[in-house]
Amino acid sequence: MPEKITKPQPRSKPQAWHYDAGTLRGVAFVGIVSLLACIFTTAHAAAAVLGDDNPLAIIDGGVERSEDAPYVPADFEFLPGDYLFFTFHIAGFKIKANQTGEIRTLSLQYRITPQDLNGVALAGPVDGTIAEEINKEDKTWTPKRRANFLLPSFVAAGDYHVQVVVKDLVAGTEVSRDYPFKIGGTQISGASGIRADQFVFLRTADEAKPLEVPAYSPGDTIYARFLMVGFKTDAGNKYRLAYGVKVTRPDGKTFLDEPKAAQIADDSFYPAQFMPGDIQVTTPRDAMRGRYQMIVTVRDLIANQDFTFRETFSIE
């Protein structure tokens, strides 16, 4: 049904419009307040972009197994020698604009370092700078940076962290943040001097599971593995270790005597917390049956310290 349109009826007299001064002042006041509010809101938004109200911050950071992979869960354990990847964003930085406001630049510096709980770096830090021009439209843009590190091969299991330090050269401010991660693998306890730890006999050189009963047959090769811990390091984290092996037969006579079975000298960026030692002793097919004693002496050549221990195995 068509909508009914009502025409306005003509007035007998034109109606006059009346204003009083109070009404005019009220309307003017409301208009000014609205205009000021608009200006303040615009200025506040611009200030947020420039970082005046938002402090410099490291955000959306995390430790990864590979580049741009999901962040690892809190209980995830890297292994010594693994690569660790890290990603983060920077927010709240101040922008420097020229007089016309057409050129807007930021200037940031950052350093990323994986560390132990004492603040000792596991690997060399990654340093970088960010100096870019940005558009007015990039109000929510935050620069993203990545880094990756090769974890040390001889680092003990425990809690570690990635430290990030960012400097805003425009604002003259600095912020830092730590992101924890775990390393699994070799568990060691503190030692005040050189000693051997976690000695095991093995069936083969590549065997992971130790022998519960170290019993061999004549002609077998006896494999053993242990860790040297508590040694000193020199300038540049240099270490110098050696060990000797002596084996006696069931009748007490010497079967093998190698006082200089191995010598290890090297250095590393992070001070090595342990060093593996390997032993191989091949027995003849006519070897005497019974219990043998293996005497191992480890030496810290920097600290000039020795440590001797004994283990037994049998040939049956």
Number of residues assigned to the chain: 316
Q: What is the three-state SS of 95-140?
A: CEECCCCCCEEEEEEEEEEEECCCCCECCCCEEEEEEEECCCCCCC
Q: Are 182 and 161 in contact (CB under 8 A)?
A: no
Report pLDDT for 104.
Answer: 87
| pTM confidence score | 0.78
Reading the block at residue 261, the tokens are 């079975």
What angle (nearest 5°) sits at the alpha carbon of residue 238, between those of residues 234 and 242? 100
Report pLDDT for 138.
Answer: 79
CB atoms within 10 A of CB 108: 21
CA dist 237 and 193 (Å) reads 16
* Pairing mode, strands 83-91 and 144-150: antiparallel
What does the pLDDT profile of the chain (316 residues) look like in tens digits?
333 333 344 444 333 333 344 443 443 433 433 434 433 333 333 333 344 568 999 999 999 999 999 999 999 999 999 999 999 999 999 999 887 777 789 999 999 999 999 999 999 999 999 998 888 777 789 999 999 999 999 999 999 999 999 999 999 999 999 999 999 999 998 788 999 999 999 999 999 899 999 999 999 999 999 999 999 999 999 999 999 999 999 999 999 999 999 999 999 999 999 999 999 999 999 999 999 999 999 999 999 999 999 999 999 9
- Of 263, 258, 313, 310, residue with least CA distance to 288: 313
| Beta bridge mates, 91 | 57
Report pLDDT for 53.
Answer: 64
Report pLDDT for 270.
Answer: 97
Buried b or exposed e, range 274-305, using 16+ CB within 10 angstroms: bbebebebebeeebeeeebebebbbbbbbeee
Domains (range + CATH), the chain: 57-183 (2.60.40.3880), 195-315 (2.60.40.3880)
Report pLDDT for 43.
Answer: 36
- The distance from CA 152 to its chain's CA centroid, rounded to whole angstroms, is 12
CA dist 197 and 189 (Å) reads 9
- Of 214, 289, 280, 211, residue with least CA distance to 250: 289
Report pLDDT for 102.
Answer: 73
Report pLDDT for 17.
Answer: 36
CA dist 51 and 46 (Å) reads 9
What angle (nearest 5°) sits at the alpha carbon of residue 115, between those of residues 113 and 117? 150
3-state secondary structure of 91: strand
